[in-house]
Amino acid sequence: MRTAVSDRLAAAPPIVLPRADADADATGGGQLRVLVAAGVGVLLGAVAVTLKIQDGSHPAADTALSAVSGALFLAAGLLAHLRRPANGTGLLMLLVGAGFFAEDLQLARDPALFTVGLLCTHASTPFVVLLVLAFPAGRLPSRSARLLTGITFGTVFGAALLGGLFVDWAERIPGKPADLLLVADSQTVAVVSGLVVEAVGVAVAAGVVGSLAYRYRAGAHGLRNPLAPALLIAAVTGAASGLASLAGSDSPLYPALLGVYRVGFCLWPLAFLLGAVSWRPARTAIADLLVAVGNPVAPAELRDLLAGALRDPELRLARWHPRSARYLDTAGRPVDPAADRTTVTLAGSTGAPIGLLVRRVPPWEDTRLTDAVARLVGLVLDNQRLATEAASRLAEVRASRARLVSLADRERRRMERDLHDGAQQRLVIAALSLRLAQRRLPPDADPALAAQLAQATADLTAAISQLRELARGIHPALLTDAGLPAAVHDLAERTPLPVTLTMPALPRLPAEVEATAYFVVAEALTNAVKHAAADRADVHIGLTADRLRVEIVDDGCGGASLTPGSGLAGLRDRVRALDGELTIGPGPAAGPGGAAGCPAGTGTTVRAEIPTG
Amino acid sequence: MDTPITVVLADDAVLLREALAGLLSGAGFQVLAQAGDVAGLRRAIAAGRPDVVVLDIRMPPGHRLEGLHAAVEIRREHPEIGVLLLSQHVESHYLPVLFGAGARGVGYLLKERVAGVDAFLDAVRQVAAGGCVVDPQVIGPLLRARNGADPVATLSDREREILALIAQGRSNQAICRQLVLTGKTVETHVRNILRRLDLPPEPDDHRRVLAVLRYLRPWSEETYRAGLPPTPT
């Protein structure tokens, strides 16, 4: 027999599952990197502030602003990392802070530190670019972003290296220590390098602002709000930086633009932190989903939950329908992969595709989010499918069990009727003929023949009587013809025990319900007489809105059991087939009224509840 | 016997019906008609007004209780016609329905009693003459162990035997013959029984049956009427 599962396995189109997590080591190896970066950053910060104060040429406000800016990047980086260890944003912010402090090493009087400081000229800038472009996923989202970042790194550090090799600061600025890398002093290199840096600075600033604007505009609706502060500040700061480079340090606007840049730079870590923390990370979304699907959810509800968690109102969720061999969404429409959206195949516990998730994945989103959501939703759908399958199979089994009972009853009624209409009539005729033949024996007939005929008549009469009881045992005609109360009265009359009956006037109930109740009473009374040696029995029958209750209490020695193969066990199966239950327990305390030779407190209660629907 | 007792037979089992007809004819009864269903029975009665109708409780079309309903109908519309109902099972349940107000000219026997020949022919005669016959199969269980406070339990074996015969519709004389007792002894037993059971000493045989059955079958008539299919009108 082919199961639904094998059907699905055969029919569902193979779709590549979400790719495995590309930066799974972000939490493990990343931990050390972050700690080292934080340690280096703090050390550089301490050195930089000390140098600035020793230098004495910087206004106190300026010193304080730099210290606060760098420290904020370090603190925000650490906090972002702690909040979301898997996200690279924290590390990038630490690097910005460290680079920012490293620039101040130029103020050192020690030649070695000074030389390092020269190499770190504008060191924070490429990290800022990297941070801004990689925000909020902590990873560069596109080739153009990587190119822009690479150019910035190359230009800044290349220019710094050229400066170290070809600009003799000690000569130009009195009091500066010796540049250990100096090869020759070249005014040309200094001028060209400065021009290149300025040009590239303008270009990169424009690129960054453009990229931010594009992402802000193209980003999913949900990503706009949390990113807004960081992107706005980044854009304003980037624009100020670019304009400042464009205007040149001689322009009257330069100090104002520089001020904007520096204040913005100081605010960045705060804004980044705000964005990184308020942008709901994958774990939070997954956790919320997990909590939500703890309760049963309808498919449409699940879609809404997903749309909320992933902040994508147009998200679509489709299930594989084996019958139509298509993926249909919650509204029953077929779902096809869309060009501008990402389609993720959802897998169930067997690994077989069971659904599709079609959503807009922002380019900077962590792939683990999609991955985890796909697995979670896959499991939920699988669970729902299994539950539905189990429920329908259970219903099917229940219905077929009830049908079997009803079929068996019909069969028993038919057998009873056949016995009555066929064998019994023939036997009666045969007995009549025999008796008539007996009467026609001449008085002088062989006495042995007469005795034989008499014996045959007696045997036949006994056989008819046994056949009648057999037919009654198969299915009592009285039950069919007159209903349960009549049949139970009849049972009580035939039971060689005083039986008290308590039952209301019952309406006719479904045949299988009446027959089941009847056989329960019959079996319990038989047990009371045969095995429990009871002196009396009470039968209570009651009808509630939806069930028939039957209770038979005797004062015998107990011992009724539901061991497999016993009559009561068979009846319990029958009762359960109709969704009812049969139990046996002790009778009321037997006391002095109990059957002779029984320990007190025995007796038997057989109880059955049978749904009448 | 100058005029033979006239009989109408109704049973859908043709072989048995024929056998019965042969038995009755051979015994001096006049079988006016045979019917295979209730409609045929009605026609036969309208045509010939028999002294007694012998019919099966199950008949076409439903093979349920058509015979019982027909019996009740005949007793209501033709009280002078005796009705002997045969059945594979005899159930005390149907007695109140069959007897209705009285136990006059009515009988209810297991079908296999036919093979008893003499007892059966006797039963047909009794019912035709307005007597009452109830199968011992019905009476037996009623007389069996009931609860301890039951007066039936205090009767002697002989008294219980006589009670069973009363319930079967036997007159005192018949009981005398069957048990080989004197009339006086039987009368004393019967008085004792009726007194212990607190039943009125009814003179009429069929009223006596009714009283005994009512006593032995104490539950209310509504209970079993509720279970019966509606009587066809």
Q: Which has the higher per-residue pLDDT, B83 or B155?
A: B83
Q: With 0-12 CB in 10 A as exposed, 13-18 as middle and 19+ as buried, what is A573? A: middle
A428 and B142 within 8 Å at the Cβ level: the answer is no
Name every residue whose Cβ is closer than 8 Å to that of residue A277 and which is 6 or more positions away in sequence: A79, A80, A83
B13 and A482 within 8 Å at the Cβ level: the answer is no
Question: Least CA distance to B64: which residue of chain A?
Answer: A481
Q: What is each CA distance from B197 to A216, A506, B201, in whole angstroms?
A: 104, 31, 10
Residues of chain B contacting residue A541, judged by C-beta atoms under 8 Å apart: none
Residue ranges of chain B that CATH labels 3.40.50.2300: 6-135
pLDDT value, residue A9 = 40
Strands A499-502 and A353-359: unpaired
Nearest to A432 among B92, B114, B222 (CB): B114
Residues of chain B contacting residue A507, judged by C-beta atoms under 8 Å apart: 226
Residues of chain B contacting residue A489, judged by C-beta atoms under 8 Å apart: 92-93, 219, 223-224
B219 and A536 within 8 Å at the Cβ level: the answer is no
Place of tokens 């990229």: A211
Cα dihedral B155/B161/B164/B166 (nearest 10): -90
pLDDT in tens, B135-160: 888 877 777 655 555 677 778 888 88
Nearest to B89 among A457, A478, A500 (CB): A478
Provide the angle, in degrees to the nearest 10, between the axes of the packed helices A187-218 and A143-166. 160
Distance CA B153, CA A70 (A): 110
Nearest to A493 among B13, B19, B141 (CB): B141
Give A 456-515 residues with CB within 8 A of chain B.
457, 460-461, 464-465, 468, 471-472, 476-478, 480-486, 489-490, 493-494, 496-498, 500-501, 503, 505-508
Q: How many CB pairs under 8 A join A and B?
A: 117
A434 and B115 within 8 Å at the Cβ level: the answer is yes
Question: Which residues sit opposite B86 in a β-bridge?
Answer: B56, B109
Asked whether the ipTM of the predicted complex exceeds the cut of 0.90, the reply is no
- Per-residue pLDDT at B230 exceeds 50: no
Query: Nearest-CA distance from A485 to chain B in Å?
Result: 7
Place of tokens 């359960």: A576
Query: Nearest-CA distance from A405 to chain B in Å?
Result: 22
Query: Nearest-CA distance from B161 to chain A in Å?
Result: 17
Q: Which of A53, A73, A71, A72 is nearest to A63 (CA)?
A: A53
**Contact yes or no for A164/A182 (Cβ under 8 A):** yes
| Chain B touched by A92 (CB under 8 Å) | no
Query: Nearest-CA distance from B96 to chain A in Å?
Result: 12
**Contact yes or no for B174/B165 (Cβ under 8 A):** yes
Distance CA A78, CA A277 (A): 12
Residues of chain A contacting residue B117, judged by C-beta atoms under 8 Å apart: 432, 435-436, 439
Nearest to A478 among B91, B110, B226 (CB): B91
Q: With 0-12 CB in 10 A as exposed, 13-18 as middle and 19+ as buried, what is B200? A: exposed
Distance CA A314, CA A331 (A): 13
Query: Nearest-CA distance from A330 to chain B in Å?
Result: 52
Nearest to B112 among A464, A482, A497 (CB): A464
B93 and A478 within 8 Å at the Cβ level: the answer is yes
Query: Nearest-CA distance from A494 to chain B in Å?
Result: 5
Nearest to B13 among A425, A468, A486 (CB): A425
Nearest to A428 among B64, B112, B227 (CB): B112
Average pLDDT along chain B: 83
B223 and A498 within 8 Å at the Cβ level: the answer is no
Question: Least CA distance to A429: which residue of chain B?
Answer: B16
Distance CA A13, CA A523 (A): 57
Question: Least CA distance to B137: which residue of chain A?
Answer: A494
Residue ranges of chain B that CATH labels 1.10.10.10: 139-216
- Reading the block at residue B140, the tokens are 């037996």
pLDDT in tens, B40-73: 999 999 998 999 999 999 888 888 889 999 999 9
Output the DSSP codes for A196-265: HHHHHHHHHHHHHHHHHHHHHHHS-HHHHHHHHHHHHHHHHHHHHHHHHHHH-TTSTTHHHHHHHHHHHH
B112 and A506 within 8 Å at the Cβ level: the answer is no
Question: Least CA distance to B226: which residue of chain A?
Answer: A505
Question: Least CA distance to A593: which residue of chain B?
Answer: B148
B148 and A478 within 8 Å at the Cβ level: the answer is no
Q: Angle at the Cα of A238 (from A232 to A243), degrees rounded to 5?
A: 125
pLDDT value, residue A415 = 92
Place of tokens 């209501």: B76
**Contact yes or no for A88/A76 (Cβ under 8 A):** no
Name every residue whose Cβ is closer than 8 Å to that of residue A354 and which is 6 or more positions away in sequence: A8, A12, A319, A320, A346, A347, A348, A378, A381, A382, A385
Chain B residues at the A interface, defined by Cβ less than 8 Å, are: 13, 15-16, 19-20, 23, 58, 63-65, 88-89, 91-94, 110-112, 114-117, 141-142, 144-148, 150, 219, 222-224, 226-229
CATH 1.10.10.10 fits B139-216, yes or no: yes
CATH number for the segment(s) B6-135 = 3.40.50.2300
Sign of the CA dihedral running B32, B36, B40, B42: positive
Nearest to B115 among A461, A468, A477 (CB): A461
Residues of chain B contacting residue A477, judged by C-beta atoms under 8 Å apart: 58, 88-89
Residues of chain A contacting residue B27, judged by C-beta atoms under 8 Å apart: none
The pTM (predicted TM-score) of the whole model is 0.60
- End-to-end C-alpha distance for chain B, whole angstroms: 38
Q: What is each CA distance from A69 to A36, A262, B148, in whole angstroms?
A: 20, 8, 105
Residues of chain B contacting residue A437, judged by C-beta atoms under 8 Å apart: none
- Reading the block at residue B188, the tokens are 């004393």
Output the DSSP codes for A1-42: ---HHHHHHHHSPP-PPPPPPTTGGGTTHHHHHHHHHHHHHH
Query: Nearest-CA distance from B205 to chain A in Å?
Result: 24
**Contact yes or no for A77/A42 (Cβ under 8 A):** no
Question: Least CA distance to B149: which residue of chain A?
Answer: A498
What are the residue ranges in chain A where pLDDT is below 50? 1-27, 220-223, 363-364, 590-594
Question: Least CA distance to A475: which residue of chain B?
Answer: B89
Query: Nearest-CA distance from B98 to chain A in Å?
Result: 14
Query: Nearest-CA distance from B156 to chain A in Å?
Result: 18
pLDDT value, residue B11 = 93
